[in-house]
């Protein structure tokens, strides 16, 4: 995939092409990766045709892409809710001050829905169906008007196809365990935040990025549980990519905050 993207930028995407140039690449990585993992990502980019490869922590890229003033001495909190992990971080002066992460994201939300439907209705559904349920009627908090959705799957007892009706309140119940783990991650980050930056976060609030932040009422849940105002970024799915691009454009400013991968 990296090779195809680099070829598309540098020349015609065919295996025999000669690139017009070898582009510089900025790649986001989870904050908690090891130096070995960082080196593996760096080497993969170089082998794919990059002229230079730089790494940026995902929470920092997300905050940058969301438009937070990370270059100021104020505290800027971001919660990046991806498919596999959720990372909470406080950024200031182009660096991450404190952070916490948990291996829970959109995929775990889907698993929670699958398990709930199996236990309550003896119905086996797939990940795609669970994703449709989450997008269609999923909510982090109970909604005023319960919504319903028709779900098709295979009966666990008879092995035959079966159709049930599931409500949004049931989906909310199914999502409580993974959502509480996300809340705990945010609390852990806030507990480690220096007092002067915590005061800024209370005033500014926290911004939510990543695809899973689009779950209904997740910002309201975090505000309710932590007392810190939370809101979803304008383009949550693209924030990390946009932030990585801006970081590459301002690499001379950002370089002291980015991981250094030895040649």
Q: Is 188 within a domain?
A: no
Q: Domain ends where: 128, 147, 174? A: 174
Please answer whether residues 10 and 23 qualify as being in contact, where contact means their C-beta atoms are separated by less than 8 angstroms.
yes
Looking at residue 50, which CATH number applies to its domain?
A: 3.30.420.40
Supply the range of the domain harboring residue 164: 107-174
**Span 149-155, average pLDDT:** 96
* Calpha distance 138→174 (Å, rounded): 9
Judged against a pLDDT cut of 70, whether residue 20 lies above it is answered with: no
Q: Is 184 within a domain?
A: no
Q: Is 94 within a domain?
A: no
Alpha helices for the chain (secondary structure H): 2-10, 35-47, 58-65, 106-121, 127-137, 168-192, 195-204, 218-226, 239-249, 251-254
Judged against a pLDDT cut of 70, whether residue 125 lies above it is answered with: yes
Judged against a pLDDT cut of 80, whether residue 260 lies above it is answered with: no
Q: Is 96 within a domain?
A: no
pLDDT tens digits for 183-194?
Answer: 999 999 999 999
Q: Domain ends where: 145, 174, 203? A: 174
Q: Is 97 within a domain?
A: no
pTM here? 0.89
Q: Looking at the 3D structure of the chain, how many domains does it have?
A: 2
Q: Is 100 within a domain?
A: no
Q: Is 208 within a domain?
A: no
pLDDT tens digits for 52-95?
Answer: 999 999 999 999 999 999 999 999 999 999 998 999 999 999 99
């Amino acid at each position: 995939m990296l090779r195809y993207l680099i070829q598309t930028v540098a020349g015609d995407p065919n295996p025999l092409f000669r690139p017009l140039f070898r582009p510089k690449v900025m790649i986001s990585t989870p904050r908690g990766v090891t130096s070995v993992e960082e080196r593996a990502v760096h080497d993969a980019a170089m082998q794919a045709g990059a002229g230079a490869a730089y790494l940026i922590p995902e929470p920092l890229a997300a905050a940058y892409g969301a438009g937070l003033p990370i270059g100021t001495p104020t505290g800027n909190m971001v919660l990046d809710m991806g498919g596999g992990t959720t990372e909470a971080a406080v950024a200031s002066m182009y660096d991450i001050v404190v952070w916490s992460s948990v291996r829970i994201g959109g995929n775990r939300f889907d698993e929670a829905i699958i398990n709930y439907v199996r236990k309550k209705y003896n119905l086996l559904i797939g990940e795609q169906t669970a994703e449709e349920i989450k997008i269609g009627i999923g909510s982090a908090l109970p909604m005023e008007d319960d919504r319903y959705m028709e779900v098709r799957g295979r009966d666990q007892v008879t092995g035959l196809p079966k159709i049930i009706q599931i409500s949004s309140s049931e989906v909310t119940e199914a999502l409580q365990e993974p959502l509480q783990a996300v809340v705990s991650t945010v609390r852990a980050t806030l507990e480690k935040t220096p007092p002067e930056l915590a005061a800024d976060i209370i005033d500014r609030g926290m911004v939510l990025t990543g695809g899973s932040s689009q779950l209904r009422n997740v910002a309201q849940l975090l505000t309710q549980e932590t007392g810190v105002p939370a809101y979803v970024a304008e383009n949550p799915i693209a924030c990390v990519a946009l932030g990585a691009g801006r970081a590459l454009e301002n690499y001379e400013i950002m370089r002291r905050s980015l991981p250094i991968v030895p040649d």
